[in-house]
Structure 1
Amino acid sequence: MALQRIEADYIIETANNPHKAAEVMAGEQSSGTFAKVPGETPELKARAAARVESVEVISEADLPSLPGAAGYDSAPIKRARVTLSWPIDNIGPSLPNLVATVAGNLFELRDFSGLRLLDMRLPEAFASAYPGPRFGVAGTRELTGVTQGPLIGSIVKPSVGFSPEETADLVQTLCEADIDFIKDDELQADGPTCPFNDRVRAVMATINRHADRTGKKVMFAFNLTGDLDQMRRRHDVVVEHGGTCVMASLNSVGLVGMIELGRHNALPIHAHRNGWGYLTRHPMLGWSYVAWQKLWRLAGADHMHVNGLQSKFSENDDSVIASAKTCLTPMFDAKSCIAMPVFSSAQTALQAPATYAGLGSADLMVAAGGGIMAHPDGPAAGVSSLRRAYEASIAGISLEEAARDHPALARSLMGQAA
Structure 2
Amino acid sequence: MARIVLGVAGGIAAYKVVEVLRRLRESGHDVRVVPTEASLNFVGAATWQALSGEPVQTAVFEDTDQVAHVQLGQTADLVVIAPATADLMARATTGRADDLLTNVLLTSRAPVVMVPAMHTEMWQHPATRANVQTLRDRGVVVVDPADGRLTGRDSGPGRLPEPVDICRIVESFVESTGHVVHAAGQDLAGRHVVISAGGTREALDPVRFLGNASSGRMGIALARAARVRGAEVTLVAANVTEPMPWGCRIIPVTSTADLDDAMRGAVVDADVVVMAAAVADYRPAEVEATKQKKTGDKGVTLDLEQTQDVLAGLVAQRAESADPARRAQTIVGFAAETASGEALDQLARAKLQRKGCDLLVANDVTSGAVFGAADTTVHVYTQGSSGPSAGGSTWRGSKGVVAHQILDSILKYKMESQ
TM range (shorter): under 0.3
Higher RCO by CA contacts (8 Å cutoff, separation 6 or greater): 1
Higher strand content, 1 or 2? 2
